[in-house]
Structure 1
Amino acid sequence: MKISINRLKKYIALTESPEEIGSLLTQSGLEVEGIEEFISIPGGLEGIVIGEVLTCEKHPDADKLSITTVDIGSDTPSHIVCGAPNVAAGQKVLVATVGSTLYPTEGESFTIKKAKIRGQVSEGMICAEDELGLGSSHDGIMVLDADLPNGTPATELFPVTKDYVLEIGLTPNRADAASHLGVARDLKALLGRELCINQEPEIQVETSGPAISVTVEDSKDCPRYAGITITNLKVGPSPKWLQDFLKSLDMEPINNVVDITNFILHDLGQPLHAFDADKIAGGKVIVKKLSKDSPFVTLDEKERKLSGEELMICDPNGGMCIAGIFGGIGSGVTEQTTSIFLESAYFAPDVIRKGAQFHGLKTDASFRFERGTDPNMPVYALKQAVKLLQEIAGGKVCSEIIDIYPEPVADFEVLVEYGHINRLIGKKIDPAQVKSILEGLDIQVKNETDKGFTAIVKPYRVDVTREADIIEEILRIYGFQQVELSENLKTDYLAEHPVKDLNKLQYRLSEILGSQGYHEIITNSLTKPLYSEKSGFLDPSLNVEIYNKLSEDLGVMRQSLLFSGLEVLAHNINRRQTDLKLFEFGTVYQKTEEGYQEGRRLAIFHSGNRSAESWIESSKPFGFADLYSTVEKVLEKLNLEVSEVQMVESAPFNYGLRLMLGQKELGTLGLVDDSLLKLAEVRQEVWFADLNWDLLCKKASGLKKYQEISKFPEVRRDLSLVLDKSISYDQVKQVALKAGGKLLQRIGVFDVYQGDKIEAGKKAYALSFHLQDQEKTLTDKVIDKTMHKLMEAFQNEVGAVIRS
């Protein structure tokens, strides 16, 4: 759910930054998953100024180009080569100055540079509307009818709306917060500031028109139904402020009538539906259920068979709308519409939930209705919409408001005891502060005694019906972070947590590695002192020496599994067994100031070829990817995920990686340094992984996370990046995950190139990006926006060049 900071400021005075507001809301239970800057015109027209064409002559070497001099308010006119057919002297135009960046309606952004075009200097660009993102026309440059001085910023003529938008991961219980008003209510309680809510407008009948009557046959599923008829409408585009508001929420403006209903929905949380009044047969609206398998064509032009359980808005001829979910194609508002019947209702959540699930429809209206809307909001929201329709679409009210509400929904009354508040929160909170918090949330406190009180909760808080719910409300506003942890903190387990059997865990990993073609080795814990002295990465002073040593070759306890493994490799290679995949679970030892320290490690070795020579394919030597793939399989089986990857270019590796799990080193892997191979008398390349088995066992989880397969399709987009060789794939991955947000499901590399076709010191990655929304089908606009964010992030954060 997206929330505009600008719109929030209409409800409550906010001086805090978007990040501070996001942090406040997150702490109170409305988790802010992201903050995006919205600019109504891409780039904000930075560097775009009004200019005047002083001279215009044909380019001597190009028939379709003109050479102009343009006054942009500088000391000297700018020379600009222009390809537009309509450029002429005396015109007022929009000029992109050198250094400015253009964000065209279609295509990628580009920066204006001083250049030579067919031998003529060009110091800027005279722009068409599509080049500035102001429209779609590319017939020629924009010619202005304005008397503003030359050099005036373009924003004087084309105001730019700037906003910050919060992406809130709304939990199902917080239906009340599915609007700007709902979020503002939380901020009121958190900040202790008053809300500024528009007064309910007075609506009077202004003219005569079609008289629409309403009959509610199913008051159980439709406890309240309100509506009004408006005529003399002129359907057309919405004003800029309304279009900018909808665009900031990633919604496309349609027309003024539909845009107003969408505005009210996101502003107040009350869905509205507009019917073309002239298409309502007999001027009668009937709220009822239709028989099973009745056909109904929705706005998306699909014929659907009704289940017989969904609530329908009908006229005497049949269904016009699936109530609270989706409109019908036969009664919708079009450009020819002049009269509408505007519906504002309160529907039972369960009937909307069942209908939406049966038809596989998820709309903004059903999202709110199925969670529970405010039964006291329909008439207020209706009047606010009518006021906007009068101002924006010229509508005139031709009927009284119809409000069928036979059994008003009562407030919830909840008995609360102070003792229970303090017990569940774990801290004694002053009763005066409890009362202040609840009143800030529009929850009245009545019948107060020393022991407790009665809380009166308005019905829009569908999730606050029990004492525990009231206490949760107090805690989330008081602040979880203000409850200190007890020195004797404890909890009651709901289920037993079995102790990990480390032997079984090791056996399971051994089976997995064995199934991958590995052989397990068990080597001596005693080794040569020479290894630590010559290794370059082991400290000889930490050796655990043997007092009664049998020989110098077995004089110390090993600090690493590397050398004992290399000895096994050397033994096999000397006997012409050159293609080897080995692993060992072993203990390493070190001397410390406190005594001696032991640690369990898992070592994995590759050497030789990963596939033998045959008539099908030639032999292929082991590479880094083979070793890393094995390590990934080990981590996957233990349900662990690496938090950070660091480069290693020191002993014992020629090059390698360090894997981190939080702040702790999980292990290292890479190509063993040649000097160490020589020390162990190994005559071929060795790939080695050294993993902290103690840490793996401690963090391993037997629980696997499963996720339902999404009903919505996945989309793949590819990019080719040219990067410095020093940039690692992990750096690219982290940038992508940060910029791609929750839509980016995974990233893949399907080609890496280093060669003479690109600049020296560079490499090229061909990456695939898999995008998916778990709640709806992705649109081209959302996909393009996400890819644009990724490309900008790659360019800005890792200096990538995007190859076309």
Structure 2
Amino acid sequence: MKISINRLKDFIQLEHSPEEIADLLTGSGLEVEGIELFESIKGGLEGVVIGEVLTCEKHPNADKLSITTVDTGEAVVPIVCGAPNVSKGQKVVVAKEGCMLYPVTGEPFEIKKAKIRGEVSQGMICAEDEIGIGESHAGIMVLDTDLPNGTPAAEYFKVIRDHVLEIGLTPNRADAASHLGVARDLKALLKRETCLPSVEEFKVDNTSRNIPVKIESAEDCPRYAGLTISNIKVGPSPEWLQNYLRALDLEPINNIVDITNFILHDLGQPLHAFDADKISGGKIIVKKLPKGYPFVTLDDKERKLSGEELMICDEKGGLCIAGIFGGKGSGVSDETTSVFLESAYFSPDVIRKGAQHHGLKTDASFRFERGTDPNMPVYALKRAAILIKEIAGGEITSEISDFYPNPVADFEIKVSYANIHRLIGKEISREEIKTTLENLDIRYIGETEKNITVAVKPYRVDVTREADVIEEVLRIHGFDNVPLSENLNSDYLAEHPSKDLNKLQYKLSEVLSGLGYFEIITNSLTKPIYVEKSGFLNPENNVEILNKLSEDLGVMRQTLLFSGLEVLAHNINRRQKDLKLFEFGTTYQKASEGYNEEKKLAIFLTGDKAAESWLEPSKQVAFPDLYAVIDLLCDKLGIENTDVEIIHNAPFDYGLKLKLGTKDLGYIGVVNEKLCKLAEVKQEVLYAELSWDLLSKKSKGLKKYADISKFPEVRRDLSLVIDKEVTFDQIKKIALKSGGKLLQRIGVFDVYQGEKIESGKKAYALSFYLQDKEQTLTDKIIDKTMGRLISTFENEVGALIRK
């Protein structure tokens, strides 16, 4: 939200610098994210002055140039000028040496001392387009003025300079979404009064064009006011109004629409102007239209109504989506001569639903869906009518119709003085509390020794409880004014886990980074089509977003797979095809009651293992490369006794399901080609997704470094012929169990399937590493251990030991 300091000063007396105002507002909860300088003419005509041409002669070396001498107030300087209309005695606009000009078209440029065809030039006599105030380049500007030479051109052209605050408005502070709202906070902070523009001059000229209003949905429209203004002249707005809007990054449209935008940003009350001649039947009806009703909005788009939007209608149909966007057929145009001006208070719920359904976020809907002031519509209507008469002419040709059957009452809240002191953390005098609340328009309506009862106006939609009132006192008193205790402590209800899960995640990230993997962070919102075409996810478990920004961000992700594939596609499309990525992220699913959230660890591997070089040919990554990483991570975390189950279902062409006891730890495999193409990835992808919640819960913490044993390690090899269904994981578990503490690790250095062994069989060549940390192993101990392993393999998996 942008706030003009120049305009703010019309509401409250301010002698503070923009930076000081920003600090005051930020300290009270309206965080100022930036301060911008606005100038009605870019550059503010800095270094441009009014001058007088004292002499003018033809350039000796160029037919179309003139040599002039110009009095700039400080000095008489020579200037070479190419304009055909330059002559002696003219008052002109002069850009002095060293100043920067911002032309209407082209890049800014600096005026420098130069030689033009052999003659010195120390400035420039300017045309309109060269200083950014018009389009003309037919000749230099010749001024009719008695201002002395050297007068800054900014004074002559009345350049407006303003500082604009960019405020990061939090959703609860709808009351501050205007210049008046910000002025109210400054009133409390500076303890001075605000000044609202007077509407006493408002009067109805006649009642020749009354447009009656009928409200059929009073629950959605608690208040609706309007009036008719006739015989207006639609045209450009005056400079002051255009500059106000441009300072707020709004483009002026015409005087009527600009006035409604002015009131919205000034008072926080959205207005809408209808062309009165386009209101069929001369009657306004506020109601809902049937689902599927086609309605063309001001942006020329036809939108199908959901049936839940509140509509402003005439006898034929819709004129405007109430509080959100106007209709093409009833908007103000250059031919408009009469308008019906609307000022209303709509239910935030109905506006929020309508805006979300159509994906429309307008300045009006931003305010209505958060809650506007139900007591503002008539004042804003009078203020707008006065401005329209002043700027566009015309006359007010109807009384104000004001439908407001059930006025919104102030909120009455009881507040304990003890709670004020306890929650703020210091004792504040009752006088300061009372003054602060009154300056925030919160009235005292009752007081006892221990409590106060206050009335809060309904525009403060965020102040409805005792804690909210106390927060108001605190933010005006100042957070920085609450001293810290010498002995800080905190109370908590939950037990803190013994493991530092954040540290554990960080350490594991370091392990993966050391292996050459890059961490990614992706959006939790994703495309519904991924679930529909995944083959392994249930669309009924989708957590849908009610206020979705787009269909591509319509649901919460059930897996980290597709958001990671999008990252792969982005990099592959930029010729980065060898990728190692990992992500810690959360997945979301609907449950029978509520929702399930689970933290996952995803790992992606694609492309070649290493960059191509003359030492060795490039080699594509394979399934064992990723499995080795998973094995290493489990080892680092102290996770043992994982089981594996071969799978051939989505999302994999083939892969493994990892189990930890009876619980699924995750899965690893080669992603199905169709799913890769769904995310526009055209190369093989290896993927693992593990439950980080389960991993971290079962982890014994990262392994500590141990001293290297003084005693040597011994290797023995075995060749086993086993059934094809027996996995290496089974062999490994059997070996570790049978080998006892002497068996440190086991590896595979060859696998064979072919004609030389029986059908349905495969041969593993295994290496076993034995070591005793307390003594050197003897042949007798080694042979005994290997004999026990051989016997176990033969008995448990029917292995044939190849001699």
Which bin holds the TM-score, normalised by the shorter protein?
Answer: 0.5 to 0.7
> Scaled by the length of structure 2, what TM-score is found?
0.63
User: Partners of 1:511 and 1:244 in 2: how far apart?
Assistant: 55
Note closer, same or farther for the CA distance 1:210–1:58 as it changes in structure 2 (3 Å cut): farther
Alignment-mate amino acid for residue 301 of structure 1: D
1:380 matched residue in structure 2: 379
1:20 matched residue in structure 2: 20
Alignment-mate amino acid for residue 401 of structure 1: I
- Cα distance, 1:58 vs structure 2: 4.4
Larger Rg: 2
**Deviation string for 1:389-427 (max 9, x for gaps)?**
121111211111111111111111111111222222222
Alignment-mate amino acid for residue 160 of structure 2: T
Paired residues for 1:487-566 under 5 Å: 487-493=486-492, 495-498=494-497, 499-500=499-500, 506=507, 509-515=510-516
Note closer, same or farther for the CA distance 1:128–1:434 as it changes in structure 2 (3 Å cut): same
Paired residues for 1:443-482 under 5 Å: 443-482=442-481
- Cα distance, 1:149 vs structure 2: 3.5
Paired residues for 1:331-350 under 5 Å: 331-350=330-349
Unmatched segments (≥5 aa) in structure 1: 518-608, 618-701, 703-804
1:273 matched residue in structure 2: 272
1:579 matched residue in structure 2: none
Pick which of 42-51 and 178-187 moved more: 42-51
1:40 matched residue in structure 2: 40
**Deviation string for 1:192-218 (max 9, x for gaps)?**
111122233243222454321211111
Note closer, same or farther for the CA distance 1:132–1:449 as it changes in structure 2 (3 Å cut): same
User: Partners of 1:406 and 1:169 in 2: how far apart?
Assistant: 36
Contact 2:207–2:399 (8 Å) recurs in 1: no
**Deviation string for 1:526-572 (max 9, x for gaps)?**
xxxxxxxxxxxxxxxxxxxxxxxxxxxxxxxxxxxxxxxxxxxxxxx
User: Partners of 1:186 and 1:83 in 2: how far apart?
Assistant: 55
SS in 2 for 1:447: strand
Please tell me the root mean square deviation across aligned C-alpha atoms, in Å: 2.4
Paired residues for 1:625-774 under 5 Å: none
Note closer, same or farther for the CA distance 1:449–1:165 as it changes in structure 2 (3 Å cut): same
1:390 matched residue in structure 2: 389
1:305 matched residue in structure 2: 304
Alignment-mate amino acid for residue 515 of structure 2: G
1:770 matched residue in structure 2: none
Contact 1:209–1:231 (8 Å) recurs in 2: no
2:614 matched residue in structure 1: 613
User: Partners of 1:395 and 1:494 in 2: how far apart?
Assistant: 67
User: Partners of 2:351 and 2:504 in 1: how far apart?
Assistant: 53
User: Partners of 1:221 and 1:63 in 2: how far apart?
Assistant: 74
Paired residues for 1:117-132 under 5 Å: 117-132=116-131
- Cα distance, 1:89 vs structure 2: 4.3
Alignment-mate amino acid for residue 510 of structure 2: L
User: Partners of 1:616 and 1:10 in 2: how far apart?
Assistant: 75
Contact 2:11–2:195 (8 Å) recurs in 1: yes
SS in 1 for 2:132: coil
User: Partners of 2:345 and 2:299 in 1: how far apart?
Assistant: 24
**Deviation string for 1:140-190 (max 9, x for gaps)?**
322323343333322232012122111110000000000111111111111
Note closer, same or farther for the CA distance 1:95–1:610 as it changes in structure 2 (3 Å cut): same
SS in 1 for 2:115: strand
Identity of aligned residues (%): 69
- Cα distance, 1:83 vs structure 2: 2.7
Note closer, same or farther for the CA distance 1:347–1:505 as it changes in structure 2 (3 Å cut): closer
1:163 matched residue in structure 2: 162
Contact 1:299–1:328 (8 Å) recurs in 2: yes
Note closer, same or farther for the CA distance 1:613–1:347 as it changes in structure 2 (3 Å cut): same
1:30 matched residue in structure 2: 30
**Deviation string for 1:118-148 (max 9, x for gaps)?**
2222221111212111123333322323343
Contact 1:41–1:133 (8 Å) recurs in 2: yes
Alignment-mate amino acid for residue 17 of structure 1: S
User: Partners of 1:614 and 1:130 in 2: how far apart?
Assistant: 65
Note closer, same or farther for the CA distance 1:53–1:611 as it changes in structure 2 (3 Å cut): same
1:114 matched residue in structure 2: 113
Contact 1:56–1:89 (8 Å) recurs in 2: yes
- Cα distance, 1:100 vs structure 2: 1.6
User: Partners of 1:42 and 1:14 in 2: how far apart?
Assistant: 25
SS in 2 for 1:380: helix
Note closer, same or farther for the CA distance 1:144–1:488 as it changes in structure 2 (3 Å cut): same
User: Partners of 1:334 and 1:413 in 2: how far apart?
Assistant: 46
Contact 1:412–1:457 (8 Å) recurs in 2: yes
1:52 matched residue in structure 2: 52
1:370 matched residue in structure 2: 369
> Scaled by the length of structure 1, what TM-score is found?
0.62
Contact 1:210–1:283 (8 Å) recurs in 2: no
2:576 matched residue in structure 1: none
User: Partners of 2:375 and 2:247 in 1: how far apart?
Assistant: 28
**Deviation string for 1:557-596 (max 9, x for gaps)?**
xxxxxxxxxxxxxxxxxxxxxxxxxxxxxxxxxxxxxxxx
1:175 matched residue in structure 2: 174
- Cα distance, 1:615 vs structure 2: 9.3
Does residue 84 of structure 1 match 2:83?
yes
The aligned length equals 526
Alignment-mate amino acid for residue 2 of structure 1: K
- Cα distance, 1:28 vs structure 2: 0.8
- Cα distance, 1:493 vs structure 2: 3.4
**Deviation string for 1:427-461 (max 9, x for gaps)?**
22222221111111110112200010211000000
1:409 matched residue in structure 2: 408
Pick which of 439-448 and 369-378 moved more: 439-448
User: Partners of 2:61 and 2:611 in 1: how far apart?
Assistant: 62
Contact 1:307–1:358 (8 Å) recurs in 2: yes
